[in-house]
Structure 1
Amino acid sequence: MDQEQELRLVAEDGKAWDPRRSVQNSILYLEQNYASVLSVQSLADAARLPRWQYLRVFKQLTGNTPSGYLTYLRMEKAKQLLRQPEGKVWEIGLQVGYRDEQYFYRRFKQVTGIAPGEYARLNRIALQVTDWRGNRCNVPLASRRIIYDDASTLGDLLVLGISPVGANIRCYPVTEQLQETKEIGFPLELDKVRALQPDLVLLSRYGYEHAEPISEMAPIVGLNEYAPMERRMLKLGEILDLRDEAQRWLHAYSERREAIWHKLRSRIEPGETAAVLYYTDNGDLYLLHRRRGLAKILYHPLGFRMSEKHGQLRPQRGSYYISLDPKRLAVLLHADRLFVFYRSSLSEAKARNELHRLPDWDGLPAVRAGKVYYLHEQWNGEDALCSEAVLEHFADFWE
């Protein structure tokens, strides 16, 4: 059955023909078929009325013209779809009857005063996301009062242009973005969270023990601060409806890292190896195993390699570091270069002197070659903001 036959049946609903009821039936048809291509003439013909009379009765019933009423129906449906979590602007335009995405964009903005994408950002009821535990969470879109409890990855949020109202900032470098951010304590203090009246709380794995009482204050999402930076950024982009921003940041970071290594390749020999160590104020020495912090720059395809022995070592589950036995350094550390991070409670000179007293330290290949580089632990930060800073200064670390 074609559209004209459908309209005719609507007009002839089995009752005695009445112009007013016939137009009402055509309005009902419009409301059910707003995405179809409908002309005023076809509506008038189906109602068995001359065009001028159909328009007059239509105006009396709706206060609008058929085309204006059709636009109203389409815009109302578009707004409804744009409030849904996963609605895409171009798909919604098609669903409500606009084949041209740009025309839909212009009409929507003309009617509502705001672009469809912006309307979606401001009006979506909730975005459903899955946290690292597999829990489904309803996240309010356009959240403005966000609390973030993990200091080690706080910079992930900052590079996306989000300044939290509360965070664990006591040990975080002071930045302009954190001027208005309030300290929430470590461990997290519930009274401080409650006082900030958040509309979204992002909890780390260690902060998740407070999930139940905090969920009574605001929606929560559990984050895995131990995940690689790329996965963390993509998850934040999903949660905050900033997917494009997260993707752009990751792409720019990757491009900068590759460009830096193209400039530095002449400074290393083919196959040259490196290892990242961490020295504590207790005299303990650790080998960084995973590609985090500085290591994710060092072990770029154009950069250094892990030694074969290094690659065979495995940290304990959930750890980034491997404890090194001082008596086995000659066996474990065959890297051509060593990057040594020392605790903030130590000076570089103190760390250097103490390491030279370890058995076999002076006999290590990198030490004999004068290719050991001492760095303050702040340069081994894993979050996105710190990663930008490390990339900027990377070439200076091993001149």
Structure 2
Amino acid sequence: MNLASLYIRLQHYDRFQVDQMMPAISHNEEINYNETNLCTLLIAHSHGIRLYVDKIAIDLQQGSCILISPVQSYTVESSNTEAQLVRFTFETFKVKGMTLNPIAHPPLLCGYPYSLLFSQVKRVLGNEAWMRNPFCSSLSASEMAMMQSRLQFILSMMTQLDQQAAHFQNEEKIKMIQNTVQYMEQHYDEDLTVEQLANMAGMVRWQYSQQFKILTGKKPTDYLAHLRINQAKELLCNSAEPLRKISRQIGFKDESYFSRCFHKLTGNTPREYANIHLHNQQKTVIDSLGREIHVPKDATRIVTAGTDTLGELLVLGISPIGAAISIMKNQVIYHNKLRNIHNIGYWADPDKITELQPELLLVSNYRAQDLQELDAIAPTVVLNSKFRLFERLRYIAKLVERSKEAEKWITTYEDKVRLVRRQLADAYDVGETATVYLKLGEKLYIMGQSGLAATLYESLGFRPSAKVKHLIEKGQAWIEIQQHQINHYVGDHNFILASSQELQTTIHCPQIGTIATLTPGKNHFMDATWNYDDPITRGRLLEVLPYVFKKKTM
């Protein structure tokens, strides 16, 4: 966010309670929302507020601040009758000499919430009695001046969040270290040395170790030890193999050294740990069907069915013993992480699941007639299919006692989003629309708010085109279209997903194939493997998108 060259003039201020569902503009009819340079800053004064920006749902926590651009519409809702929102409405101008020029699309970072400390926000806003008056027209000139200074202070706090993510600027170095981290995660059972990893990153050992610790919080040797011990925990709880064999499976050549390392990191010997976790305590959760489910704490033998559960478990450091990967196994970008996971088909097949003797079932794809049989195998939690990424990840993390890991991932993801949006500032304008086409052989689909489209709409701030917006409002994740309908859904930017083979044909011979009739414009071609909405794909997608926008468009 760049505020240095802008002049901000406060037009209105109010604080209001959020009903179950209300258009935001109804709170102050004096505001002219047709002014093209009028921006809105919303600040969540309470928990449990859901904001819809152009029908796209965004959950706000206490202290969340979000900028709404002049071309966007919004509504808010809350199940909490005490929930409150603070709203600043302001104009932006570009300063040129002594002249103020109104800006139709101010270069502010819109559409993504900044999570500020609520104690700081509350201190800045103050507690004057007049602030509770819902009509900003009642403010005197001095009060408006005071609130203008507070608005600018809040915006500067949001700017500081961007600056705190500056360590992501050195992308090449970070990417090389991240590559070594991924290598360690995939080859922890091999004889790895710090020198070997430093050479892979193109650094000397001391520099690599220093940068590695900044990025991960651990030294390379400690990170590798934790990887190995975490894998040992799973093996100890899921197999009766002797310690000698387990230590070799995770990369330790010496059983005694493995036992000492395990005790140092866990406080238990390997066998003590295994005996403790054979008798897990239980907790009660409510699933999406409203059922009370008694699930074991620290469950390790988990089976999952559904494309929106597997990536979440993996990013939380849990590898399920079984998953519905018959279709997605060779399609997802993290297919290397699936090699030790048993395939239970596309649906939650009770016969295949029974053989795995799970402690917990987490499902979103299942047949209703199988649910009773699944419950008999192990506690079965049915996930809410309407959950968005953060909501889904937090629910699963709480279920498996990994909430800290989930919040750490979300914070890192939000930092990356702000970086990518700065990088793409010249690639698209606030308020532009985007449409995602998926080409599978002869068939063509339009994505609603799922897969790649979720990242574009929820993180990058694109808006769906009118026809796609209608699909989202109807709750449709995708629809199949015919050749003659291809331009009915077109946006300012169009993302065409297809197999790598089809992409080569389309790029080298654009006159061939279904996509040939797409209206010329800003069309971006991507492999269909990016059409997933799990945290692993979403995180890596942010690294790829800047390169996608740099490619020549048709």
Which TM-score band applies after superposition, normalised by the shorter structure? 0.5 to 0.7
Letter paired with 1:313: H
Larger Rg: 1
Give the 3 Å change call, closer, same or farther, for CA 221–270 of structure 1 in structure 2: closer
Share of identical aligned residues, percent?
A: 27
Paired residue for 2:289? Answer: 133
Question: Offset at 1:338?
Answer: 0.7
Deviations 1:11-42 (A, max 9, x none): xxxxxxxxxxxxxxxxxxxxxxxxxxxxxxxx
Q: 260-269 or 205-214: which moved more? A: 205-214
Q: 1:305 aligns with which of 463, 466, 485?
A: 463
Q: Distance in 2 between matches of 1:263 and 1:316?
A: 31
1:199 aligns with 2:359: yes
Give the 3 Å change call, closer, same or farther, for CA 203–266 of structure 1 in structure 2: same
Task: Give runs of aligned pairs for residues 316-335 of structure 1, distance below 5 A.
Answer: 317-324=474-481, 326-333=483-490, 335=491
Q: Distance in 1 between matches of 2:485 and 2:349?
A: 44
**SS of 2:318 mapped into structure 1:** coil
Q: Is the 8 A contact 1:164 1:178 kept in 2?
A: no
Give the 3 Å change call, closer, same or farther, for CA 207–141 of structure 1 in structure 2: farther
Task: Give runs of aligned pairs for residues 1-399 of structure 1, distance below 5 A.
Answer: 125-170=281-326, 171-172=328-329, 173=332, 175=335, 177-207=337-367, 209-283=369-443, 285-290=444-449, 292-299=450-457, 303-307=461-465, 309-310=466-467, 312-314=469-471, 317-324=474-481, 326-333=483-490, 335-342=491-498, 346-350=502-506, 352=510, 353-358=512-517, 361=518, 364=519, 367=520, 369=521, 371-399=522-550
Paired residue for 1:44? Answer: none
Letter paired with 2:476: S
Q: Distance in 2 between matches of 1:195 and 1:287?
A: 38
Question: Offset at 1:161?
Answer: 0.3
Paired residue for 2:229? Answer: none
Which of the pair is proportionally richer in helix? 1
Q: Is the 8 A contact 2:435 2:489 kept in 1?
A: no
Paired residue for 1:72? Answer: none
Q: Distance in 2 between matches of 1:243 and 1:136?
A: 20
**SS of 2:425 mapped into structure 1:** helix
**SS of 1:201 mapped into structure 2:** strand
Q: Distance in 1 between matches of 2:319 and 2:460?
A: 35
Q: Distance in 2 between matches of 1:249 and 1:196?
A: 30
Give the 3 Å change call, closer, same or farther, for CA 263–148 of structure 1 in structure 2: same
Paired residue for 1:27? Answer: none
Give the 3 Å change call, closer, same or farther, for CA 310–180 of structure 1 in structure 2: same
Deviations 1:213-255 (A, max 9, x none): 2222211111134531112111101211222222221222122
Q: Distance in 2 between matches of 1:199 and 1:217?
A: 9
Question: Offset at 1:145?
Answer: 0.7
Give the 3 Å change call, closer, same or farther, for CA 329–193 of structure 1 in structure 2: closer
Q: Distance in 2 between matches of 1:264 and 1:149?
A: 36
Q: Is the 8 A contact 1:160 1:246 kept in 2?
A: yes
Q: Distance in 2 between matches of 1:208 and 1:247?
A: 33
Which consecutive aligned stretches of 4+ in structure 1 deviate over 6 angstroms post-superposition? 121-124
Letter paired with 1:337: H
Give the 3 Å change call, closer, same or farther, for CA 187–398 of structure 1 in structure 2: same
What is the root-mean-square deviation in Å for CA atoms of aligned residues? Answer: 3.0
Q: Distance in 1 between matches of 2:432 and 2:448?
A: 17
Give the 3 Å change call, closer, same or farther, for CA 316–344 of structure 1 in structure 2: farther
Q: Distance in 2 between matches of 1:147 and 1:234?
A: 18
Give the 3 Å change call, closer, same or farther, for CA 331–175 of structure 1 in structure 2: closer
Letter paired with 1:268: Y
Letter paired with 2:290: G
Q: Distance in 1 between matches of 2:367 and 2:318?
A: 20
Where does structure 1 lack aligned partners over 5 or more consecutive residues?
A: 1-112
Q: 153-162 or 200-209: which moved more? A: 200-209
Q: Is the 8 A contact 1:343 1:377 kept in 2?
A: yes
Letter paired with 1:181: I
Q: Distance in 1 between matches of 2:471 and 2:515?
A: 26
Give the 3 Å change call, closer, same or farther, for CA 312–219 of structure 1 in structure 2: closer
Q: Is the 8 A contact 1:262 1:302 kept in 2?
A: no
**SS of 1:128 mapped into structure 2:** strand
Question: Offset at 1:208?
Answer: 5.0
Question: Offset at 1:270?
Answer: 4.3
Q: Distance in 2 between matches of 1:159 and 1:207?
A: 27
Letter paired with 1:185: G
Q: Is the 8 A contact 2:287 2:293 kept in 1?
A: yes
Q: Is the 8 A contact 1:153 1:384 kept in 2?
A: no
Give the 3 Å change call, closer, same or farther, for CA 316–304 of structure 1 in structure 2: closer
Question: Offset at 1:303?
Answer: 4.2
Which of the pair is proportionally richer in strand? 2
Paired residue for 1:89? Answer: none
Give the 3 Å change call, closer, same or farther, for CA 317–337 of structure 1 in structure 2: closer
**SS of 1:231 mapped into structure 2:** helix
Letter paired with 2:296: P
Provide the aligned length of Structure 1 versus Structure 2: 270
**SS of 1:188 mapped into structure 2:** coil
Q: Distance in 1 between matches of 2:352 and 2:474?
A: 33
Q: Is the 8 A contact 2:467 2:488 kept in 1?
A: no
Q: Distance in 2 between matches of 1:282 and 1:253?
A: 35
Q: Distance in 2 between matches of 1:382 and 1:209?
A: 27
Give the 3 Å change call, closer, same or farther, for CA 331–396 of structure 1 in structure 2: same
**SS of 1:186 mapped into structure 2:** coil
Question: Offset at 1:131?
Answer: 0.7
Letter paired with 1:289: G
Question: Offset at 1:336?
Answer: 1.9
Give the 3 Å change call, closer, same or farther, for CA 355–146 of structure 1 in structure 2: same
Where does structure 2 lack aligned partners over 5 or more consecutive residues?
A: 1-266
Letter paired with 1:375: M
TM-score for both structures, normalised by structure 1 = 0.60
**SS of 1:275 mapped into structure 2:** strand
TM-score for both structures, normalised by structure 2 = 0.44
Q: Is the 8 A contact 1:157 1:163 kept in 2?
A: yes
Give the 3 Å change call, closer, same or farther, for CA 300–203 of structure 1 in structure 2: closer
Paired residue for 1:75? Answer: none
